[in-house]
Amino acid sequence: MSGKDVVGAVLKAASGRLSGAEWLVLLPGLTLLAYWVGGEPPMIALAIGAPVLLALSSLMQRKPAQTGEQPLTGFATEPILLDRLDRILADGTLSGRTTACFVVLFDEADALLDRHGRAARDIILRQTAERLSLTTREGDIVARLQPGGFSLVLAPVLRFDLETAIQLAVRLQAAATAPLALDGLTLHPSVSVGFCLAQRSPGPTAKAMLEAALIAADEALRNGPGAIRAFLPEMTARRADRATLRTGLEQALDEGQIRPWFQPQVSTDTGEITGCEALARWHHPDRGILSPTEFLPLVEDAGLSARLGEVILFGALSALSRWDKAGFGIARVAVNFSASELRNPRLAEKLKWELDRFSLPPNRLTIEVLETVAARFDDDIILSNLAQLSALGCGIDLDDFGTGQASIANIRRFAVTRIKIDRSFVARADTDPAQKRMVAAILSMAERLGLETVAEGVETPGEHATIAQLGCTHAQGFGIARPMTVEESFGWIERHRSGLARVAQVGRVRR
């Protein structure tokens, strides 16, 4: 190594790979090395030049932070992050180092951030940003993204592969999801993480890499809560596909392309139809029938949940009126409500108005609430809405029971009338003793609480017989019928009723 190389190495160092303090510690040793390698001239150049360069470089590095940081949080903004990432990427091609960009987003950001007001929102964001920075190393940069969420760019490293990236994503999640104290409440935020490794970036610019990390985070959010996703090129195509679907959504709702289908629920005792659940379907002109998992997230994103709710409720109540006119005597129709719909302060009033419009008493309508929603003990609006609806006389079904950790206290407070045992417990309940024990435990709890029960996803006669024998009062699933249009329901109900009548007749003849 010549004296020129030594000075060159120091110049490179001053450009930012080690901190100033680290280089000052190394300086005496380097000065000796310079003397040993090249004699006096490089030694003098190093002894005088290095401190000057370090001072200049630290001034240069601090400059953007001073001008661009947000006064509120003291964390970098997106433009600063992009600027730093662009510099790292440009430098990386010369030095063979790499980097990665991470995006951390709150699961259900609207609920978490809006429920507690603007001041609380800033506290949550600030504390999370601080926690995220604590998990990073010197030189990494954490920035806040608008409207909520964070991005992290790694200082250049020699090796950073998928496995290391996942480990870091897990650490970021652990930091962001630690309990957070706020006005006497303890919040348990959950976050999803997406990332893009420099070597997998769709383009050589910071903008392309951040966009890729955002796409991955968006994909994680859809699969959350608490998911982690690495950017893959096909995610871009999926996103474009969703964007196309989203543009047609409003028109689809207006033109009646989105309608409820109905899945019957039967009594395990008599076999009679006790109700039907309304399940949204999109009759897409080009793509055929789309299931709610394909379009519900788009409805939420587009802020159209209330509109979808109106369409499904209207379809469900008009179906009930039509079944009444046909003399089918179906007791009730159940409608799924999302958390955002349940947070509408005028929900009870709106439902009452709709029921009156069809001259139906409130006990003909059941509200299905996901157990994960009922587990949120701190949501006063949802609590008060359900209390009002229950006082009105509507039934309240706790959906997907067993997956959402609702406490018994909450089941009481949410005025639940019925529990829907999730399909994951019902599957193979006849052949798998562990499944059977689980269903039995849920049923005995429901019985003690005086609640009725529906087993969801009953697919086989064996499962049907087992849940009936264990004391579950209602059954729903492909084994009884798949969801169907209201038009199809007439034929199915007729056939089911005449089947029951035949069985009763055979029973009478035998006796």
# binding residues, Ca ion (CB under 5 A): 5
CA distances for 67 relative to 141, 149, 151, 154, angstroms? 16, 22, 19, 21
Q: Residue 478's closest CA among 289, 266, 294? A: 266
Q: Find the shortest distance in angstroms from Cβ 495 to Ca ion.
A: 24
Q: Is residue 288 near ligand C2E by the rule CB under 6 A? A: no
User: Cα Rg for the chain, rounded, in angstroms?
Assistant: 31
**Which of the listed partners (Ca ion, ligand C2E, none) does 172 bind, with a CB threshold of 5 to 8 Å by partner kind?**
none
Contact (CB, 8 A) for 30 and 10: yes
User: Which member of 98, 336, 390, 476 binds Ca ion (CB under 5 A)?
Assistant: 336
User: Which member of 223, 247, 270, 291 binds ligand C2E (CB under 6 A)?
Assistant: 291
d(CA 318, CA 29): 85
Q: Which is nearer to ligand C2E, 64 or 292 (CB)?
A: 292
The tokens for 66 are 């001073």
DSSP string, 188-235: ---EEEEEEEGGG-SSSSHHHHHHHHHHHHHHHHHH-SS-EEE--HHH
CA distances for 411 relative to 166, 358, 371, 400, 449, angstroms? 37, 30, 9, 13, 9
The tokens for 154 are 């790694």
User: Which member of 374, 400, 474, 484 binds ligand C2E (CB under 6 A)?
Assistant: 400
Q: Is residue 371 near Ca ion by the rule CB under 5 A? A: no
Q: Find the shortest distance in angstroms from Cβ 340 to ligand C2E.
A: 9
Stretch that binds ligand C2E, among 70-78, 103-111, 213-221, 332-340 (CB under 6 A): 332-340
Contact (CB, 8 A) for 244 and 221: no
Q: Is residue 400 near Ca ion by the rule CB under 5 A? A: yes
- Give SS3 for 396: strand
Q: Find the shortest distance in angstroms from Cβ 17 to Ca ion.
A: 54
Q: Find the shortest distance in angstroms from Cβ 278 to Ca ion.
A: 9
Q: Find the shortest distance in angstroms from Cβ 488 to ligand C2E.
A: 14
Instruction: For residue 148, give the DSSP letter.
Output: S
In sequence order, the β-bridge partners of residue 281 are 259
Active site residue 40: no
User: Which member of 99, 177, 192, 336 binds ligand C2E (CB under 6 A)?
Assistant: 336
Q: Find the shortest distance in angstroms from Cβ 481 to ligand C2E.
A: 9
Q: What is the pattern of x (binds ligand C2E, CB under 6 A) and - over residues 422-441?
A: -x------------------
d(CA 164, CA 193): 14
User: Which member of 99, 477, 493, 496 binds ligand C2E (CB under 6 A)?
Assistant: 477
Q: Is residue 338 near ligand C2E by the rule CB under 6 A? A: yes
The string over 101-136, giving b where at least 16 C-beta atoms fall within 10 Å of a residue's C-beta and e elsewhere, is: bbbbbbbbbebbbebbeeebbeebbbbbbebbbebb
Q: Which is nearer to Ca ion, 14 or 373 (CB)?
A: 373
Q: Is residue 368 near Ca ion by the rule CB under 5 A? A: yes
Stretch that binds ligand C2E, among 48-56, 134-142, 207-215, 291-299 (CB under 6 A): 291-299
Q: Is residue 292 near ligand C2E by the rule CB under 6 A? A: yes
**Which of the listed partners (Ca ion, ligand C2E, none) does 9 bind, with a CB threshold of 5 to 8 Å by partner kind?**
none
Contact (CB, 8 A) for 157 and 171: no
Q: Is residue 64 near ligand C2E by the rule CB under 6 A? A: no
The tokens for 378 are 């701190």
d(CA 213, CA 176): 18
Stretch that binds ligand C2E, among 5-13, 132-140, 200-208, 285-293 (CB under 6 A): 285-293
Q: Is residue 402 near ligand C2E by the rule CB under 6 A? A: no
Q: Find the shortest distance in angstroms from Cβ 263 to ligand C2E.
A: 6
**Which of the listed partners (Ca ion, ligand C2E, none) does 457 bind, with a CB threshold of 5 to 8 Å by partner kind?**
ligand C2E
Stretch that binds ligand C2E, among 19-27, 101-109, 331-339, 445-453 (CB under 6 A): 331-339
Stretch that binds ligand C2E, among 411-419, 441-449, 477-485, 502-510 (CB under 6 A): 477-485
Q: Is residue 312 near ligand C2E by the rule CB under 6 A? A: yes
Q: Tell me, what amino acid is at 388?
A: Q
3-state secondary structure labels for all residues of 13-77 = HHHHHCCHHHHHHHHHHHHHHHHHHHCHHHHHHHHHHHHHHHHHHHHHHHHHHHHHCCCCCCCEC
Stretch that binds ligand C2E, among 29-37, 123-131, 334-342, 350-358 (CB under 6 A): 334-342
Contact (CB, 8 A) for 307 and 345: no
For the chain, what is the largest distance between any 2 Cα atoms, rounded to a whole number of angstroms?
A: 117
d(CA 477, CA 467): 12
Stretch that binds ligand C2E, among 18-26, 64-72, 127-135, 290-298 (CB under 6 A): 290-298
d(CA 385, CA 143): 38
Q: Residue 116's closest CA among 381, 341, 302? A: 381
Contact (CB, 8 A) for 383 and 396: no
Catalytic residue among 211, 219, 341, 456: 456
**Which of the listed partners (ligand C2E, Ca ion, none) does 291 bind, with a CB threshold of 5 to 8 Å by partner kind?**
ligand C2E
Q: Which is nearer to ligand C2E, 160 or 295 (CB)?
A: 295
# binding residues, ligand C2E (CB under 6 A): 21
Which residues of this protein are in contact with ligand C2E, per CB under 6 A? 263, 279-280, 291-293, 296, 312, 336-338, 368, 399-400, 423, 457-459, 477-478, 483
Which residues are part of the catalytic machinery? 456
Which residues of this protein are in contact with Ca ion, per CB under 5 A? 336, 368, 399-400, 456
